[in-house]
Amino acid sequence: MDVFRIEGPVRLSGAVGINGSKNASLPIMAAAILGGGKSVLRAVPELSDISVFSELLGQLGCKVGRDDNGDLWIDSTVIDNPVGEYEIVRRMRASICVLGPLLARCGRAEVSMPGGCAIGDRPVDIHLRGLRQLGAQIHLKNGYIVAEAPQGLTGKDIFLGGPFGSTVLGTANVLMAAVTAKGQTVIESAACEPEIADLANCLNKMGAKISGIGSPRLTIQGVKRLEPVEYGVIPDRIEAGTFMVAAAITAGEVRLAHCRLDDMVAVVDKLRNVGVAVERSDDGCVVSRRGAIKTADITTQSYPGFPTDLQAQFMALLSLGEGNSVIIEKIFPDRFMHVAELNRMAANLRKEGPTVIVAGVKKLMGAAVMASDLRASAALVLAGLAAEGTTTVQRVYHIDRGYERIEERLNPLGAKIIRESI
């Protein structure tokens, strides 16, 4: 198991390129199931989550590989085993998004029911509700979701809202099932996240007829079949936000290339509120901080609100704020595993239900801390860049799920991070 040894404090400066989006890549890889041939995807990051998803597609019958130029290809000519095994789903919940396309393509799918994870219970009831409304028969057997539609699926008006708003992968699943359903489907309360818009754009390039992309109402005219595709995924707005906080927390100046600021309006707004300059450039932006970190109140929301996937990173930043900040988590109310770890680094955080009161401190101190989930781990790395002394982050595999060799990208900017195998 790898650990990071981080020496701080440092001031970051220089330029970094933002990779393709993990959370856009995963459903788009699932969409390749519908192509029935060889699709080629550009800018898919080299992450452990992508490897696990490739393994899953392989088990279904697809062939998956990378070209020398890094393009990922998926040949879905043969799907002879429409089963998402427990062994894979247990490692990555996003595996659930093969359910919709498998059902549409094969008329039957079995996917292990995902359990909870470090950030909460994460039910999939809304996914199943949507698929049932398209005509699927669904039951649970030995921990597996068994979905059947031997006569095919039929378009319907479907409301996909839930107690926490829209669902990202639930929308992906129902959308991918609906593209080849008979007639028209309207998904109300669809997720508006850029990753879902990217999936819909990719599906349209494959021959689907989806309108309302980027809005909470998606209208889908069913088509008979989709074709394989060549498609480039969007840049990762969460990775970009993490690098922005890295610049901010170290009072540095970092140029981000290949970054879509238009997908990050709420994030940029918060950064500016706390005294961080974000200047648009040709292909991205320049992020810098000269003065003190001011306070901010943050409530996480569905897009275009402030993303839950940047909550932990902003908590690290606000820990060094000039006063009290309040962070309310409205998407995953238990997503606070980083709170106790940041407190070990001398932050002053108090959790009250889904709210954390952040009392700013003058400095953070290096400590041994434990990564618990992807974004919590990123927050610990960010805190380690600004903290005095050595921070050791254990269980780095959580970070590798979503950030491609983060230390090799932060070190050229002035970070001092060593990866050690223990």
Q: Does 26 bind ligand EPU (CB under 6 A)?
A: yes
Q: Does 126 bind ligand EPU (CB under 6 A)?
A: yes
- What is the rounded distance in angstroms from the CA atom of residue 404 to the CA atom of residue 92? 17
* Nearer residue to ligand EPU within complex by CB, 19 or 360: 19
The pair of three-digit structure tokens given for residue 128, joined into one six-digit string = 């199943």
The contact pattern for ligand EPU, residues 195-224, with x = CB under 6 A and - = no contact, is x-----------------------------
Q: Binder to ligand EPU among 58, 152, 162, 414 (CB under 6 A)?
A: 162
Q: Of all helices (H) and strands (E), which one includes residue 386?
A: helix 374-386
| Integer CA distances (angstroms), 132 to 137, 175, 182, 359, in order | 6, 13, 14, 47
Q: Does 242 bind ligand EPU (CB under 6 A)?
A: no
End-to-end CA distance of the chain: 6
- What is the rounded distance in angstroms from the CA atom of residue 408 to the CA atom of residue 38? 32
* Nearer residue to ligand EPU within complex by CB, 182 or 260: 260
| Integer CA distances (angstroms), 327 to 112, 172, 321, 354, 362, in order | 34, 28, 13, 8, 19
Q: Does 331 bind ligand EPU (CB under 6 A)?
A: yes
The pair of three-digit structure tokens given for residue 255, joined into one six-digit string = 């140029």
Q: Binder to ligand EPU among 168, 254, 278, 381 (CB under 6 A)?
A: 168
The string of DSSP letters for 185-229 reads: EEEET----HHHHHHHHHHHHTT-EEESTTSSEEEEE--S-----
To the nearest whole angstrom, how small is the minimum distance from the Cβ of residue 180 to ligand EPU? 22
Residue span binding ligand EPU (CB under 6 A) among the ranges 57-65, 160-168, 360-368, 390-398: 160-168
Q: Does 112 bind ligand EPU (CB under 6 A)?
A: no
Q: Binder to ligand EPU among 169, 176, 254, 293 (CB under 6 A)?
A: 169
Q: Does 167 bind ligand EPU (CB under 6 A)?
A: yes
Considering only residues 353-412, where is the footprint of ligand EPU by CB under 6 A?
Answer: 374-375, 402
Active site residue 117: yes
Q: Does 289 bind ligand EPU (CB under 6 A)?
A: no
Number of residues binding to ligand EPU, judged by CB under 6 A:
25
31, 33, 38, 42 alpha-carbon torsion, rounded to 10°: 30
DSSP state of 21: P
Residue span binding ligand EPU (CB under 6 A) among the ranges 53-61, 168-176, 207-215, 249-257: 168-176
Determine contact, residues 346/365, Cβ cutoff 8 Å. Answer: yes
To the nearest whole angstrom, how small is the minimum distance from the Cβ of residue 398 to ligand EPU? 9
- What is the rounded distance in angstroms from the CA atom of residue 136 to the CA atom of residue 150? 9
Q: Binder to ligand EPU among 17, 85, 164, 368 (CB under 6 A)?
A: 164
Please count the other Cβ atoms lying within 10 Å of the Cβ belonging to residue 69: 6
CA angle 202, 242, 293 (to 5 degrees): 140
The string of DSSP letters for 268-313 reads: HHHHHHTT-EEEEETTEEEEE--S-----EEEB-STTSB-GGGHHH
To the nearest whole angstrom, how small is the minimum distance from the Cβ of residue 167 to ligand EPU? 3
* Nearer residue to ligand EPU within complex by CB, 113 or 340: 113
| Integer CA distances (angstroms), 57 to 73, 81, 116, 200, 230, in order | 11, 10, 22, 20, 18
Side-chain-side CA neighbours of 318 within 13 Å: the count stands at 27
To the nearest whole angstrom, how small is the minimum distance from the Cβ of residue 302 to ligand EPU? 7
Residue span binding ligand EPU (CB under 6 A) among the ranges 100-108, 125-133, 268-276, 351-359: 125-133
The contact pattern for ligand EPU, residues 64-103, with x = CB under 6 A and - = no contact, is ------------------------------x---------
To the nearest whole angstrom, how small is the minimum distance from the Cβ of residue 53 to ligand EPU? 9
To the nearest whole angstrom, how small is the minimum distance from the Cβ of residue 4 to ligand EPU? 18
Task: Give me the catalytic one of 106, 117, 202, 285.
Answer: 117
Tell me which residues touch ligand EPU (CB under 6 A). 23, 26, 94, 120, 122-127, 162-164, 167-170, 195, 308-309, 331-332, 374-375, 402
Catalytic residues: 117
